[in-house]
Chain A
């Protein structure tokens, strides 16, 4: 049983696609979940299908979608860090780590979920994951939370071996699907592919997104 789970990811929807089922399982069993979301995904190119957002309205649209997804998944506390999409790797990592360290010292999570640096494809994922590891590493060994790292680069398994944490999320698949649907500006293109029935996910994606979620335990 975890005491408190802290999720640290850069974009609204990362929490849903990568670990929405895992979050829902924790929330359902009464574990408080806090989400630190780095940016508002201001520079995403998906605008809904048919598109309904513009470059200027997208951050507001995604902020509302995020609020709904958090509600659906059972995330009790949402902290928006106010960084800007695509720029995290250019920030001073020490300063960003300061903020994460402060949050961790307040919340004292027993588990942190973030991206695996170098294996998470998007530069923001890799940079924010690395900053999170830097912040965790600052804590004394006896107060350090476990870290589950999410990665989906093509070479991740070849380099790191199979994930050691595999969560069966089939019991909360409907909850995850509802959160995916909440992120409509992104999921209408990426998941439902603009195809009419947004209650149903294409079969190949059901297998990828709604059955299990896997992580590597990150070693310091």
Chain B
């Protein structure tokens, strides 16, 4: 995984258009955010293996980046994305890392289910 190449990410998003794909989407400020006084709230959410199909998928911004996926009945959105990888299984992995290299947000797409 390395810094986002916007055109490579856009090309990868295009490959997932208009087909059923598996989504991993998450954001977190860490399980110890309150304990270590980094924040007043510990906040996180994730969905693993959401099944979606999108008719528009774009990456936007100049870094950190945003991604929006337009669904028949809604949207998938993530911001703060800094790094990407298309892995050997052709999955698109996008993540936003903070100054400590800690993952703060992730959006991933795969043609087959992610491991659980």
Contacts and interface: CB of A to CB of B under 8 A. Distances in A.
Interface of A: 43, 45-51, 54-56, 59, 84, 86, 121-123, 153-154, 189, 194
Contacts of B72: none
Nearest to A125: B31
B31 to A, nearest CB: 5
A120 B42 CA distance: 15
B31 A55 contact: no
A55 B97 contact: no
Contacts of B79: none
A189 B100 contact: yes
Interface residues of B, number: 26
Contacts of B1: 51, 54
Contacts of A49: 100-101
Contacts of A43: 26, 28, 46
A194 B98 CA distance: 13
Nearest to B107: A55
B77 to A, nearest CB: 18
A122 B28 CA distance: 14
A51 B83 CA distance: 11
A86 B102 CA distance: 17
Nearest to B104: A45
A194 B93 contact: no
Nearest to A58: B103
A59 B93 contact: no
Given A54-B1, A56-B87, A189-B100, 17 more contacts: A43-B46, A45-B28, A45-B102, A46-B102, A46-B103, A47-B102, A47-B103, A54-B87, A54-B95, A55-B93, A55-B95, A55-B103, A56-B115, A84-B116, A86-B31, A121-B31, A189-B102
Contacts of B64: none
A196 to B, nearest CB: 15
